[in-house]
A and B are shown apart, each in its own frame.
Chain A
Amino acid sequence: MRQLRFATIGSVDDGKSTLIGRLLYDSKSIFEDQLEHVEAVSKRRGDEYVDLSLLTDGLRAEREQGITIDVAHRYFATPARSFVIMDCPGHVQYTRNMVTGASTADLAIILIDARHGVVEQTRRHSILTSLLGVPHLVVCVNKMDLVDYSEARFKEIREDFENFAARLNLHDVTFLPISALKGDNVVDRTPDLGWFEGPTLLHHLENVYTASDDNRIDVRFPVQYVIRPRTTEYHDYRGYAGTVAGGVLRVGDEIVVLPSGLSSTITGIDSADGPLTEAVPGAAVTILLADDLSVTRGDMICRPHNRPRVVQDHEAMLCWLDSNAQLQTNKLYTLKHTTRSARAKVSEVRYVLDISELHRKEPTGPLAMNDIARVVIHTAEPLLRDDYEHNRVTGSFILVDESTGATAAAGMLLPPRE
């Protein structure tokens, strides 16, 4: 089974830390020294209960202020699967952390308080999950104990969510009633939720099928590094190292190298474990070609009749990340896309997205941290790019502020405007 990387999105009020604590505790993944430590700190601070958020809040400032500042990573495993939890703070001002956590997530968990139902925060988190193309979503209707474990209430919330989410790009949504505090339906089934016929949260996480999330159709191999041993034994060895971004490459395949457009045939696929006959998405391999072409970092190997778009003008959704500087249109940024870097300008902000309602707003000023906007970007060199909805690797990029080195923004490429 593949490791599952999932983002938990929400704030303390939703019971998110309690849920993580419950998952770890009930799956016996909390170590004794960690629990002792959390208990000791909670006691010293005079908390009324053991604050499980201390398990993930690792920085001094977070512990002192009782807030989560940054994405925290927690690791646990059951006999069925290994997991990485990317715990993202959920308040409005932390959109950038949610975007960061969601960018690498296979699955997102959004919590709804059963008493309050779908609220603004639920919509915001769902819109971000959809925007970042997280393949699987689990909506946990939490605190079921506070609504008498009412099946009717659960169904009402599910219907509300479905009505709102119909406008979003969410493919696989699972609804689960739980009580993180009482432990209902997180790891174990309990009689109080006897009416619910679906899986427990852990069971769902262990079994969600992610192998089909990769794009295995469109062959994309960004060349990362050229391996030339320069030894007598491997005198003529010239391998193109990289990580498969899409499709399946096979020995014998005819390929074309972009942007040069020169063609050749794959004669070998080397890996850390020796030669392979095929390379699947995510595999770090070295491709050998029949012809001695000039191929360098930033080039892309693909199939002759299935190429990415090679263009310099791009439509994109941009999430501004930099807390110290706002977007300056017509300023030069460095755009990093796959293994390629190009200088880039944001020439136009088409609209700003109101992520609470999915409304489009006229920009009222320069983009600042946590703003999400549709923009037009021009790059000094062509990118070898796909739409983000078809490939999260070849459809994503970051902008780097050349004066500070900061990661200024994250972008998702959209289809060209008709």
Chain B
Amino acid sequence: MRPGITGLEDEAITIIREVAACFERPVILFSGGKDSVVMLHVAVRAFAPAKLPFAIMHVDTGHNFPEVIEFRDRCLAGFGLDLTVASVQAAIDAGKVADAPSRNPLQTVALLDAIAENKFDAVLGGGRRDEERARAKERVFSHRDTFGQWDPKNQRPELWNIYNTSLRPGEHFRVFPISNWTELDVWSYIQEHDIELPSLYFAHRRPVFRRGGMLMAETEFLHAEAGEEVFEEQVRFRTVGDATCTAAVESSAVSIADVVAETSIARVTERGATRADDKISEAGMEDRKRQGYF
């Protein structure tokens, strides 16, 4: 293994190329969030000077920050890549799921539908093991049954760098090339390659309110309730997801270097600081993953 971030990128490239070699219809999940941006950059570099041999898909809750959607489209246009959108709104309109205050868990339905419809057999995601304790147990090549379910107690052991890519009809794999990267590694890579990100990742002033100890943004999708006071604060987002369950943190980091400095001394994990949906129960992520979540 080569030192530093280069070694982690080597590992990610090896995984991404293995997907290209072993699967018929791979797709990269791309939300415009930092992890998916980094994964996409690595993937494009893995096949240069040839074109990326994967489809790109975004599971859109319909409750995304407009800056992120604008960035998503501009970033893909820059790479000359086409996007498939799996829409949670469309799933709601079709009566497949009932709308909920947070649409984050509803993404599973739209995702599984799109996987079946497009016959995707490998779905690459930017999940990292340091994010969350259920993810810390997941394989790099994570097998899903015909219902898209993850069975944590019956995972295929993963040895050396040999990946078992065996699949039966209707099943698929979730593949996590940056499994072994930490939040700081991701930011170091962004810094080294001067990668553009949505403006939300950097300090800006916006109206926010406190809920459950977290700073939520006042947006068209989420409003302060009675007793919650809206005020303006200088914040940034450490993770960018559905606007209804992604919280901001107070920050003065306006550049990539500032964020790297801030991340290296952070005392709270990124999901602990910003994800309302993970606080529901100790096994919130595991339960969602079992049902087919990312």
Contacts and interface: CB of A to CB of B under 8 A. Distances in A.
A311 interface: no
B134 interface: yes
Given A33-B272, A282-B7, A59 B267 contact: no
Given A70-B152, A77-B184, A272 B283 contact: no
Interface in B14-72: 14, 17-18, 20-21, 42, 45-51
B50 A59 contact: no
Contact of B143 (A104, A297, A396, A405): A405
A270 B48 CA distance: 9
Chain A interface size range: 35 or more
B268 A396 contact: no
Interface in A362-402: 392-393, 396-398, 400, 402
A33 B238 CA distance: 15
Given A75-B129, A284-B17, A406 B160 contact: no
B45 A272 contact: yes
B267 A229 contact: no
Contacts of A96: 157
Contacts of A82: 182, 185
Contacts of A32: 267-268, 272
Given A60-B286, A61-B153, A284-B14, A336 B164 contact: yes
B250 interface: no
A272 B282 contact: no
Contact of B46 (A72, A272, A273): A272
Nearest to B130: A75
A272 B179 CA distance: 19
B248 interface: no
A398 B137 contact: no
Given A33-B273, A59-B153, A75-B129, A229 B50 contact: yes
A371 B54 CA distance: 40
B269 A41 contact: no
Contacts of A74: 130, 136
Interface string B80-96: 00000000000000000
B182 A33 contact: no
Given A1-B3, A33-B273, A69-B153, A103 B282 contact: no
B48 A272 contact: yes
Contacts of B18: 224-225
B266 interface: yes
B266 A31 contact: yes
Interface string A263-280: 000000010110000001
A397 B161 CA distance: 10
A115 interface: no
A237 interface: yes
Nearest to A274: B48
A3 interface: yes
Interface string A222-259: 00110111110110010001110000000000000000
Interface of B: 1-4, 6-11, 13-14, 17-18, 20-21, 42, 45-51, 129-130, 132-137, 143, 152-153, 155-162, 164, 166-168, 171, 179-180, 182, 184-185, 266-269, 272-273, 282-283, 286-287
24 contacts: A31-B268, A32-B272, A34-B272, A37-B282, A58-B136, A58-B286, A59-B283, A70-B152, A72-B136, A73-B179, A100-B158, A224-B14, A225-B17, A241-B46, A243-B13, A272-B48, A280-B2, A282-B10, A283-B2, A284-B10, A284-B17, A284-B46, A321-B157, A398-B159
Given A58-B133, A272-B9, 19 more contacts: A3-B1, A3-B8, A37-B282, A60-B286, A73-B129, A73-B180, A100-B158, A104-B159, A224-B17, A228-B50, A241-B17, A272-B42, A282-B7, A283-B2, A297-B21, A336-B164, A339-B21, A402-B166, A410-B157
Question: 5 nearest interchain CB pairs?
Answer: A33-B272, A58-B133, A272-B45, A284-B13, A405-B166
